[in-house]
Amino acid sequence: MTIDKAASGVLPEPPEATVSASQRERLLTAAVDLFYRHGVGVGANALCKSAGISKKSMYQLFDSKDALLVAALERRVLADAAFLLPPPDFGPGPRARLLHVFRQLEKFARSPEYMGCAFLAPQVELKDPAHPASLVAARVKRQHLEGFFRTEAERGKATDPDFLTRQLAILYDGASTRAGIGADDLQGLAVTTAETLIEAAGITD
Amino acid sequence: MTIDKAASGVLPEPPEATVSASQRERLLTAAVDLFYRHGVGVGANALCKSAGISKKSMYQLFDSKDALLVAALERRVLADAAFLLPPPDFGPGPRARLLHVFRQLEKFARSPEYMGCAFLAPQVELKDPAHPASLVAARVKRQHLEGFFRTEAERGKATDPDFLTRQLAILYDGASTRAGIGADDLQGLAVTTAETLIEAAGITD
- pTM beyond 0.95, yes or no: no
| Torsional sign, CA B183, B185, B188, B192 | positive
Measured in angstroms, the CA of B202 and the nearest CA of chain A are apart by 13
How many Cβ atoms are within 10 Å of B78's Cβ, its own excluded? Answer: 10
Higher pLDDT, A13 or A80: A80
Q: Which residues of chain B from 16 to 75 reach within 8 Å of chain A, CB to CB? A: 37-39, 41
Residue B48 has pLDDT above 80, yes or no: yes
What number is the ipTM of this complex? 0.90
Q: Domains of chain A by range and CATH?
A: 1-62 (1.10.10.60), 72-205 (1.10.357.10)
Residue A179's H or E segment, with its range, is helix A161-180
The string of pLDDT tens digits covering residues A58-113 is: 999 999 999 999 999 999 998 899 999 999 888 789 999 999 999 999 999 999 99
How far is the C-alpha of B39 from the C-alpha of B36, rounded, in Å?
6
Give the gap in angstroms from C-alpha A129 to the nearest C-alpha of chain B: 7
Q: Do B173 and A177 touch (CB under 8 A)?
A: yes
Which of A114, A124, A141, A139 has its CA nearest to residue A39? Answer: A124
Phi, psi of A169, deg, nearest 5: -65, -40
B-chain CB neighbours of A171 within 8 Å are 170-171, 174
8 Å CB contact between B87 and B66: no
- Sign, Cα dihedral of B176, B180, B182, B188: positive
Q: Nearest to residue A118, comparing CAs of A40, A29, A27, A182?
A: A40
A82's enclosing H/E stretch is helix A65-84
Segment B114-135 mean pLDDT: 98
CA geometry: angle at A175 spanning A174 and A177, to 5°? 65
**Dist CA A63 CA A81 (whole Å):** 27
Q: Answer yes or no: do A167 and B189 touch at CB < 8 A.
A: yes
Q: What percent of chain A has pLDDT over 90?
A: 84
